[in-house]
Amino acid sequence: MFDMLFTRRFSMGHRLIHGASESCALPHGHNEFVTVRLQPTSDEPLDGKGNMPVSFQRAKGAWHKFIDERLDHALQLAEDDPLLEWFRVHEPARAARIVVTPGDPTTELMACLMMAKLNAMLAADGGVLRCTAITLQETPTNTVEFSGDPLAMLPAPRPAGQCWWRRADMSISDIATAI
């Protein structure tokens, strides 16, 4: 079976308010690398013509667009972070650029959310590929790698329609869309 790996770099800001680290309670940023491992959903042999399950361009196109246009230079906040309300009141246009997460936007949580989002995109593109692993490097010394079912790892299950990470669109929030 072939694995296709794609890496993308993006810059982000976040803060963690639920006590994991006092130094992370103030807004700060990272230059992150996300690497995804994709596998074909069937083990068909190469066809002797195109010789690939899907082109690299098709495999990574929507994903890289999502990273570049939605996650790059976005702020990640927990859905109960008071800063989110401040942005909604004082800078509603910028609030639409906030990634809203169920609890603190840790690297672990973001890896699961990003993998769920990518799998939704891949399913909508015909289900030829699936993401089997995601690696999110927060700093050169802090990296999270996840494989498995990201939806099973996420806190507080909620209806699929209320989860931006389960939709194959460019959404990064369900709260900011109500502005």
Q: What is the pLDDT of residues 35-82, one digit of tens each?
A: 999 999 998 888 888 888 888 999 999 999 999 999 999 999 999 999
Q: Given this model, what pLDDT does residue 23 score?
A: 84
- The radius of gyration of the chain from alpha carbons, rounded to an integer in Å, stands at 17
Average pLDDT over residues 18-26: 84
Percentage with pLDDT > 90 across the chain? 80
Per residue, the 3-state secondary structure of 110-164, as one string, reads HHHHHHHHHHHHHHHCCCCEEEEEEEEEEECCEEEEEECCHHHHCCCCCCHHHCH
Average pLDDT over residues 20-33: 90
What pTM does this model have?
0.93
Q: What is the pLDDT of residues 129-171, one digit of tens each?
A: 999 999 999 999 999 999 999 999 998 777 777 799 999 999 9
Residue 103 DSSP class: S
